[in-house]
């Protein structure tokens, strides 16, 4: 949580993140957080270009994970992560619900008002998690519907963006990828983009 909420000085963050990775490894790649930590851990991993690890932690079928809930028949968010065979307090609980914003913000990259001071700013910064062949999401903003989808095509990725007029911002290639013109960042504009791996 301290990384997410900028408690550390910028120069301290890499060491703090390295320690977070050690803690995740100590817990065999599982979540080991409470409700508040679960809200931020996946966003922190993505901010340090480890969306792949976040996705793996979320989807793994063994306890504790969201994937374990699904393997056990969950069709909603439960109140807690308990091993199979132990009672669950509530089978419809919103506390672990920030996972949906992680899917939208990290996998498809829809980040509206990233600094919290400009509702007309939209940045698109997806993460192409290796375990996925495609991802898509939309967000209904005050200006209208924003939709992003991406799909692998061989070694390339096609990204399609539809954004309403009146928004400004950027499209950012994930680490190790390039937008058309071998650019890492382009001005925000609806359209289709072929991204290539950086050589």
Distance between CA 22 and CA 39 in Å, rounded? 19
The predicted structure's pLDDT at residue 86: 87
Domain locations in the chain as residue ranges: 10-99, 110-197
Distance between CA 5 and CA 119 in Å, rounded? 21
Mean pLDDT of the chain, nearest integer:
95
**Contacts of 129 by beta carbon, 8 Å cutoff, 6+ apart:** 51, 52, 55, 107, 135
pLDDT above 70 covers what percent of the chain?
100
C-alpha angle with apex 89: 36 to 96, nearest 5 degrees? 25
Buried residues in 52-75 as b, exposed as e (16+ CB within 10 A): bbbbbbbebeebbbbbbbeeeeee
Q: Tens digits of per-residue pLDDT, 14-24? A: 999 999 999 99
Q: Tens digits of per-residue pLDDT, 118-143? A: 999 999 999 999 999 999 999 999 99
The pair of three-digit structure tokens given for residue 164, joined into one six-digit string: 């309403």
Distance between CA 175 and CA 110 in Å, rounded? 16
Tell me which CATH homologous superfamily contains domain 110-197: Maltose phosphorylase, domain 3 (2.60.420.10)
The predicted structure's pLDDT at residue 36: 92
Q: Tens digits of per-residue pLDDT, 138-194? A: 999 999 999 999 999 999 999 999 999 999 999 999 999 999 999 999 999 999 999
Checking if the pLDDT of 75 tops 90, the result is: yes
Checking if the pLDDT of 89 tops 90, the result is: no
Checking if the pLDDT of 94 tops 90, the result is: no
From the number of C-beta atoms within 10 Å of its C-beta (0-12, 13-18, 19+), residue 181 rates as exposed
**Contacts of 76 by beta carbon, 8 Å cutoff, 6+ apart:** 91, 92, 93
pTM score, two decimals? 0.93
Distance between CA 128 and CA 111 in Å, rounded? 16
Checking if the pLDDT of 85 tops 90, the result is: no
Distance between CA 43 and CA 73 in Å, rounded? 26
pLDDT tier at 51 (50, 70, 90 boundaries)? very high
């Amino acid at each position: 949580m301290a990384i997410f909420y900028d408690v550390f000085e910028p120069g301290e963050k890499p060491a703090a993140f390295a320690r977070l990775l050690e803690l995740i490894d100590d817990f065999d790649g599982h979540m080991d957080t409470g409700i508040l930590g679960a809200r931020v851990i996946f966003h922190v991993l993505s901010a340090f270009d480890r969306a792949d690890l976040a996705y793996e932690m979320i989807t793994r079928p063994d306890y504790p994970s969201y994937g374990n809930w699904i393997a056990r028949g969950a069709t909603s968010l439960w109140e807690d992560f308990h091993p199979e065979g132990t009672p669950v307090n509530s089978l419809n609980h919103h506390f672990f619900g920030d996972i949906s914003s992680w899917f939208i913000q990290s996998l498809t990259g829809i980040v509206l008002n990233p600094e919290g001071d400009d509702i007309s700013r939209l940045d698109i910064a997806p993460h192409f998690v290796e375990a996925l062949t495609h991802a898509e999401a939309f967000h209904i903003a005050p200006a209208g519907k924003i939709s992003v989808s991406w799909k692998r095509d061989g070694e390339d990725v096609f990204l399609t963006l539809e954004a309403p007029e009146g928004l400004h911002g950027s499209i950012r290639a994930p680490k190790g990828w390039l937008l058309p013109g071998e650019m890492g960042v382009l001005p925000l504009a609806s359209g289709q983009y072929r991204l290539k791996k950086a050589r």
